[in-house]
Amino acid sequence: MKKIILFLLIIFCSCNKEKVKETRKEALNDTSKEIPEEVSYFKQIKNNDVKLGEPVYGDWLYTRKEKGQTFDQYFKSRHIVPTKEANIIYILPIGNFNALQKKQIELLNEYLEIYFQLKTKTLAPISNDVVPNSARRMMDGHEQLLAGYLLTDVLKEQKPSKRIALMGLSELDLYPKPEWNYVFGLASYHDKIGVSSIYRLQDGELTSENFDLCLSRLLKISSHEIGHMFGLHHCITANCVMNGTNSMSETDKNAIRLCSVCQRKLNSCILYDNKKRLEDLEKYFKRNNLTEGFELMKKDRVVIQ
């Protein structure tokens, strides 16, 4: 009799979980249906969004008239969604990395797992030799790799188990096409791959003195590029990690935090616990002496309590 009761209880709990999940999806699709622990969460943290000012010369939006992306547009768009068959984010280091750089990659792995609330793994590094001379060039005394080649001829061929997204991390500078000087990163929505470079994040050389600043930059660029893989467009309304960037100074100015709308987009895709993610991020930033990120997460946590 006890076994029968236990069996029925398991079935009930499983069905109840599925019902909650379906109710949640319905609520995300219909903004008139409010679930206190979810929809109200985004309304509360919206108080901490910082509206973007008018772009000035040199800013990303000064010359790019982007339309932005509403939550409804995102929800109705075609974008990747985690499944049992595809739910792991991978990092692929490309080149030769020193001890400090390897430490940053470890911290990046930890961060992405918290940020996206998905398992994240770092693959064994591959050599720069995979890039032929036709996809390389010299610029201002340093070597650059063609970002598009890394995407289509290197990363696209990598198919690790349960991959939902794959980001290459290059030690060398990147360029997207001959007329551009450089690019921080590039991503393919369709192929769920992207590549970022640490070259310009390190002010010439990564040291113990600039480690925290450079780590913050790496976290911003990487979460931004992988955000694109999950279908998020550039944010044009609030100071957000999904803002476009033209320069390192603009990257430093952009927040490491996702604004309330972009958070809602990502959460509608991955369906994680918002409060848990927020608390995990706050602990991560505090543990790694990233004051800006810690203060932003703390402000969000305060308004939801």
Q: Which pTM does this prediction carry?
A: 0.86
pLDDT at 2: 41
* Residue extents of the structural domains in the chain: 31-79+237-305, 81-230
**Distances from the Cα of 289 to the Cα of 104, 138, 212, 218, 232, angstroms:** 13, 36, 7, 15, 28
Average pLDDT over every residue of 59-82: 93
The DSSP secondary-structure symbol of 263 reads H
pLDDT at 28: 46
Give the SS3 label for residue 101: helix
Q: Report whether pLDDT(31) > 50.
A: no
Give the percent of the chain with pLDDT over 90: 77
Q: Report whether pLDDT(16) > 80.
A: no
- What rounded mean pLDDT belongs to the chain? 88
pLDDT at 246: 87
pLDDT digits 0-9 by tens, 224-258 = 999 999 999 999 999 999 999 988 999 999 999 99
Give the SS3 label for residue 121: strand
Those residues whose C-beta lies under 8 Å from the C-beta of residue 183, and which sit 6 or more positions away, are 147, 174, 175, 176, 197
Q: Report whether pLDDT(56) > 50.
A: yes
pLDDT at 254: 96
> How is the chain split among helix, strand and coil, in percent rounded to 5?
50, 15, 35
pLDDT at 278: 98
pLDDT at 25: 47
Q: Report whether pLDDT(18) > 90.
A: no
pLDDT at 37: 52
Q: Kindly list the catalytic residues.
A: 225
Average pLDDT over every residue of 130-137: 94
pLDDT at 38: 59
The DSSP secondary-structure symbol of 152 reads I
Q: Report whether pLDDT(11) > 80.
A: no
Min mean pLDDT across 33-37, 93-97, 180-184 is at 33-37
Q: Report whether pLDDT(15) > 60.
A: no
Class of domain 81-230: alpha beta
Report DSSP letters for 134-177, one per residue.
GGEEEETTEEEEEHHHIIIIIGGG---TTEEEEEEEESSEEESS
Average pLDDT over every residue of 98-123: 98
Average pLDDT over every residue of 142-149: 94
pLDDT at 302: 96
Residue whose structure tokens are 């911003």: 220
The one-letter code for the residue type at 273 is D
